[in-house]
A and B are shown apart, each in its own frame.
Chain A
Amino acid sequence: MSELVLSGLYDGPLIGVNATLGAGSWVVLGGDPAALSTLVALTAGSRAPRRGLVRYAGHVAHASPELRRVTAALFADESLPALGCVSDAVQAILSARADRRASRALLDEIGLANWGARATRDLDASERRTLALALALTHADARLVVLHEPLAAGRGLGPDFVRNGVASAVDRGAVVLVATQSLDDARVLGGEPSLLHHGVLTSTANVPLGSPVGGDQTFVVETPDARRLTAALAREPAVRGVRWNEESAPETVLVYGSDTERLASAIMKILSEESLGVRSIGLSRLPLPSLLAAAVVPTAPAYPYGAPPQQPYPYGGAPQQPYPYGAAPQQPYPYGAAPQQPHPYGTAPASAYPAPTPAGPAPTDTLAAAPADQSVAMPTAFADPTKPPGGRP
């Protein structure tokens, strides 16, 4: 039985990855996207590691065209061969694999026939990943399948396409390695879990991942043009909701949606089209409800980052003010859920955005309770993840 052997990989965020993976499905969970994407690129033989070796069936991955021919991979950032149209690029890929299928027939088979005539440079990052995933999972002879966030890339193709593709590769006796930041995706795809943390891979095969729960992703955008960004994002179908509080955090916009890649594309498109300034964009690691529950509490909306004006010792630390520069003790996690947060999904009575009661119609403006909040009222098609299902008319 052929094994994938990662020995002493040192490259960028990876600091000594060692593993021996036999045939079957393996899932690597990690919080650092750079580490995951580096691991995938090295394992698929896209390039040589700075130190260490990736071997499969005796072949060194980056130096063996024969191995790469039976390797199907999905990278964090995909690029197509620099040929005119998508159909030509796919044909070149099939030729490199020694696959005799015609590109148009393959595109038709995976439901992307209308992409064939498009120029390769017109495909955005998300579309390139979708195409790469389809090519990877339709590789009939793949012995090594390495996928970075396949469920995020495969939303256009459907989760069943990804699950079936992975299952089919496993049935053929391939080594399937999936790298993801999402515990939920790991649960959906199954496989033996490992944890990539601080550049080191640790097997957690005995730790049950539990069943999938689903959920939204939230981007935190720091921008001086928060009002315009909020208004513009309301038009984007990838955006399920936007939160902005003009008083407590006038330059912070929370944007949430189910598809991280489409969400990021939508934000970047708006920033570019509207020429908006931006200080930072980050993907919150916490679910939106926890974020919202902890972001604004009634006691400190007017002074979220500083001391109140009655503070007589703004820089001196008066005995009665132990937190001169920061949040009061009752708000220690301005953008995150406190570990002791008893109501992580926004049902805590202290929240400025109280969760509506499940029964009865919800107001169109979900933030009516907070007059200063300028959140956009989403069309009814957009669900608010802070609301329980069925709460909206």
Chain B
Amino acid sequence: VTAVLGARLALDGLSSRGVWVASGLGLIAVEVTSLLERSADSAYAADRALLGPTLGVVVPLVAYALFEAVYKRERSTALLDPVARHGADRRLLSFGANGTLALGCASMAAVFAALAAVSARGFRDPALVADFSASLWGGALTGVAYAGLFALASHFGRRGRIAALVLDWLFGSGSGLFALVWPRAHARSLFGGEPVLDGSQALAALILVMMGLVGTIFAAARETR
């Protein structure tokens, strides 16, 4: 019941207008940049659209917007305490809220990545179906990883989330040791870009899943019961 309460708190934030505006703008940005890439060079349009604006800019920013809509500039305790003080377990509340956010981020990133693949390939491309399905689950894993990162960062409020966004952009752009804990680097590796420490795509997928799980569980464990 307590985890469901946490999920309800998150769902209420996710149904706000800001989320729809951010998602709408994200969709437009993905569509426009994918079409531009396709008109420039259709052979590599899907790769460039996915690795560039979609996973590099739109997915992290919209995931950040989803967390802001739920946590509203505040630390995670500000969302949880009004329920927790009446007897709800903060850890379960946190797990419910961040789990729901992870699902939201995964859905959003999956849709964005699939849209980018379809728009960049065009409906007549024979590789469309394979790219579409790969983008769908690859995007979902990326969204989950960002949710884990922001769940941990939300313990420090908006500053924490902004810091996570900036650090992901700074260190996740590389492929060395410093890139190991940032979703951007592994998302790039998963979608066929430069690998992190020469790891495989399967490893990148596994790390993205682990980031989501560890982030959500650690965020819950950090709360007092």
Partner of B224, one of A62, A82, A98: A62
Segment touching B, from A66-74, A164-172, A194-202: A66-74
Segment touching B, from A40-48, A223-231, A249-257, A344-352: A40-48
CA distance A79 to B81 in the complex (A): 9
A62 to chain B, nearest CB (A): 6
Contact B8 A93 (CB under 8 A): no
Contact A68 B5 (CB under 8 A): no
| Complex contacts, A88 vs chain B, CB 8 Å | 12
Partner of B225, one of A65, A83, A97: A65
Partner of A46, one of B12, B13, B81, B87: B81
Contact B87 A82 (CB under 8 A): no
Contact A48 B84 (CB under 8 A): no
Contact B87 A68 (CB under 8 A): yes
B9 interface hit (Cβ, 8 Å): yes
B89-106 CB contact bits vs A (8 Å, 1 = yes)?
A: 110000000000000000
B17 interface hit (Cβ, 8 Å): no
Contact B1 A83 (CB under 8 A): no
Contact B85 A63 (CB under 8 A): no
B10-24 CB contact bits vs A (8 Å, 1 = yes)?
A: 001100000000000
Contact B89 A65 (CB under 8 A): yes
Question: Which residue, B9, B12, B90, has most C-beta atoms of chain A within 10 A?
Answer: B12
A278 interface hit (Cβ, 8 Å): no
A120-145 CB contact bits vs B (8 Å, 1 = yes)?
A: 00000000000000000000000000
A367 to chain B, nearest CB (A): 46
A64 interface hit (Cβ, 8 Å): yes
A341 interface hit (Cβ, 8 Å): no
A84 and B85 in contact, given A64-B225, A96-B2 (Cβ under 8 angstroms):
no
A95 interface hit (Cβ, 8 Å): yes
Interface size class of A (residues with CB under 8 A): 20 to 34
A68 and B85 in contact, given A82-B72, A84-B12, A92-B8 (Cβ under 8 angstroms):
yes
Number of interface residues of B (CB under 8 A): 23
A79 and B88 in contact, given A63-B224, A96-B2 (Cβ under 8 angstroms):
no
CA distance A149 to B123 in the complex (A): 67
Contact B82 A69 (CB under 8 A): no
Chain B residues 7-42 with CB under 8 Å of chain A are 8-9, 12-13
A80 interface hit (Cβ, 8 Å): yes
A282 interface hit (Cβ, 8 Å): no
Contact A95 B1 (CB under 8 A): yes
B95 to chain A, nearest CB (A): 14
A82 and B12 in contact, given A93-B83, A96-B83, A97-B86 (Cβ under 8 angstroms):
yes
Contact A96 B8 (CB under 8 A): no
Contact B8 A83 (CB under 8 A): yes
A237 interface hit (Cβ, 8 Å): no
A83 and B12 in contact, given A62-B224, A63-B225, A95-B1 (Cβ under 8 angstroms):
yes
A277 interface hit (Cβ, 8 Å): no
Contact A96 B87 (CB under 8 A): yes
Contact B72 A69 (CB under 8 A): no
| Complex contacts, B89 vs chain A, CB 8 Å | 65
A58 interface hit (Cβ, 8 Å): no
CA distance A45 to B224 in the complex (A): 11
A81 interface hit (Cβ, 8 Å): yes
CA distance A81 to B80 in the complex (A): 8
Question: Which residue, B8, B13, B81, has most C-beta atoms of chain A within 10 A?
Answer: B8
A45 to chain B, nearest CB (A): 7
Q: What are 18 A-B pairs with beta-carbon distances under 8 A?
A: A46-B85, A65-B87, A65-B88, A65-B90, A68-B85, A69-B86, A80-B82, A81-B82, A81-B83, A83-B9, A83-B12, A92-B9, A92-B83, A95-B1, A95-B5, A96-B83, A96-B84, A96-B88
With A47-B81, A68-B84 already in contact, 18 other A-B pairs whose C-beta atoms are closer than 8 Å: A45-B85, A62-B224, A63-B225, A65-B84, A65-B88, A69-B86, A71-B85, A71-B87, A79-B81, A79-B82, A81-B83, A82-B9, A82-B13, A82-B82, A88-B12, A89-B82, A96-B2, A97-B87
Q: Which chain A residues have a beta carbon within 8 Å of chain B's beta carbons?
A: 44-48, 62-66, 68-71, 73, 79-84, 88-89, 92-93, 95-98
Q: Across the A-B interface, give the 5 residue pairs with the lowest CB-CB distance, nearest first.
A: A69-B87, A96-B88, A96-B86, A65-B89, A68-B87
